[in-house]
Amino acid sequence: MPGEKASEELRRTQIIRAAFAIAARDGLDGRTIRQVASKAALSTGLVLFHFRSKALLILALLDWVLATTTVLHITDDIATIEAPLDRLRALLQREMHRLSSEPARMRIFFEFWVMGIRHREIRGKMQAELDRYREAFRSITVEVLQTEPDRFAHVSAEGLAAVAVSFIKGCAVQSMIDPKHFDIEQYLAAVQGLVGHLAVQPM
């Protein structure tokens, strides 16, 4: 019945959110089925009914973290900006703010990345999502290169997208390292000041 299916999906989300809370506090290695069940106010049997094993719960948590971290949403206020370069800048700023505002989520993200070194399925999932995230910038970077050919001479759309994602992830890393003192506005100002001076000058 539709109601039963919806209830099952809600229960799975409840368990995954509990697993996320435990991982945010103790790390991925410190999370057990019993801890997750206690956090979700459920029995261990019910958690295992939905996920069958700790390994499957880890993969479900990874999918949830990726879906809420590496999915690019271009909101109407950004999509309606006329100049492609201004649109890209606004998107970069929004993404930097979004990801740096949740250092615990980013720490778990990078814990999964390290786990992927020895776990092929996790590595494959993360690589595929990061590739999709970078590719999501490509439609904007293509427009930027078309309208700003002199500013971005010898730069490909893929290269510009990769740099954009690098700035965003770098911002997220800094917020994770020192969340109490990280200043997003200072980071953005520093980026703006550095980029022009880092550009290769024509011979």
pTM beyond 0.75: yes
Tell me which residue of 72, 93, 76, 66 sits closest to 137, measured CA to CA.
72
Average pLDDT, the chain: 87
25-44 pLDDT, tens digit per residue, is: 888 887 789 999 999 999 99
Per-residue model confidence (pLDDT) at position 60: 95
For residue 196, pLDDT beyond 50 = yes
For residue 198, pLDDT beyond 60 = no
107-119 pLDDT, tens digit per residue, is: 899 999 999 999 9
Per-residue model confidence (pLDDT) at position 165: 92
For residue 69, pLDDT beyond 60 = yes
122-147 pLDDT, tens digit per residue, is: 999 999 999 999 999 999 999 999 99
Per-residue model confidence (pLDDT) at position 2: 52
